[in-house]
Structure 1
Amino acid sequence: MEVALLTVGDELLAGETENTNASWLSRRLTERGATVTRVLVVPDDHDTIASYTREWRERFDAVLVTGGLGGTPDDVTMDAVADAVGRDVVVSDDAKSRVVETAEQFADDNPELVDAYDLDLDFDAWASVPEGARVVPNDAGLAPGAVVESVYVLPGVPAEMKAVFERMAADFGGDVVSETVYTPAPEGALTGRLEDLRDGFDVTVGSYPATDDPNRIKVTGTDSGEVERAAQWVRENVETVDE
């Protein structure tokens, strides 16, 4: 299963916020056996989001779009995704009920904030999704996630993104397995060994140097036995250490 990640936010491009969502999602998807083949950061721009979503949904098994959900003017992701799949945006009654319930609970718990900032949410805006989408509840916030065809839309706030992803995680899987071997050898000394490894086994090989920790050799494939044999070959032909 090949997956592409589209992370949305002007603040990400400006370096004001670190893109931890992309790294977290990549790890979780890889753990489930999916293959992340693209990761891209785009601005809070309707046409840009729609363009990449439209293109990538034709090229990959799934597209995850995270960020830009809610009821403020820069939250354009749901509209853009709806445009990309040729659907209207509608208010989900179930999502609206959850948004209202969550907002009312917040107001009861934080009356001083409600009074101080005169909070008045546009519940319809927060509960809008592409027509026919599967609404994914957000157990950590207001804006729900949504699944429409092969496009998965998640909030940008990390805690909310994680909560929504866990509700849709079962949709992702694959046969990819990997094994990592650690070595004190410098990367430059491994070139010949890695070429032999690629030639001798039906796996992909990655070499990842580190400054303070041992370097990593990661062996990946779809046949767990082949991956195990390749990793064992590394242990027998390269100096290794425990993690």
Structure 2
Amino acid sequence: MDNHNMPENLQQKLENQQSLIRQLTQENEELYHQFNHLMIRNNKLLKRIDDLQKIIDDLHLRVEELQLISNNQLQLNDRLRRVPGGKEVSGAALPGVVAADEQSLDLDLEQLYIRWKSYPGQVAQNAPNLRKQVLMLAYLYRNGSLRANELFQLTGVGGVTGARYVSSLKRFGLIAFNGARKKGHYSITPQGIQFIEGKDEYRGPGGGVSMPAGIPVKHALRIPDPTLMDGDDL
């Protein structure tokens, strides 16, 4: 009787093992799908981490720029506190930097201001801003090249305002920025030197100073002289 039950027991065990294999196979497939889903999510998270790292790097650069602006402003405030009446200090106080003024350069800054105000394409009319830009050109003309903090300190402007001024001068090709952003320097271009030395002008037919060729010049509107009317005009 035991021999007769042996095959039945083996058959039952075999069926149980096959059923277990099917269950394990199904569970394995589910785990495999879950693994693929987790890999996709992991790749997305890694991409988000890269994007966030780029944002953090940009923020670090911005913080460094703001620190430079803050340091320039503090230096300017210190200078203004040390000078009676709040007058600006000469740039000769900076080591290795030569001050530029009318006596040392033999430049007529007032004439440079007038020429810069009427420079082709230059539409700004704020006199203090234009005078500061002319002063920047004079310092760069005298020193050849200056770092941003040196140039801004010499001209007595903050980092934000100074950046706006040099951007305008760069747009007209009068100055250029060379080197890395942190350790670079501003320098005057050949076109800027020509502007300072008055070589960017030419003499017109009447001997007067004219704008460069190709630049339209605005002429004053001429109003004809009134004439007397007679009976035929009525």
TM, length-normalised to structure 2? 0.25
More strand, by proportion:
1
TM, length-normalised to structure 1? 0.24
Higher relative contact order (CA 8 A, sep 6+): 1
More helix, by proportion:
2
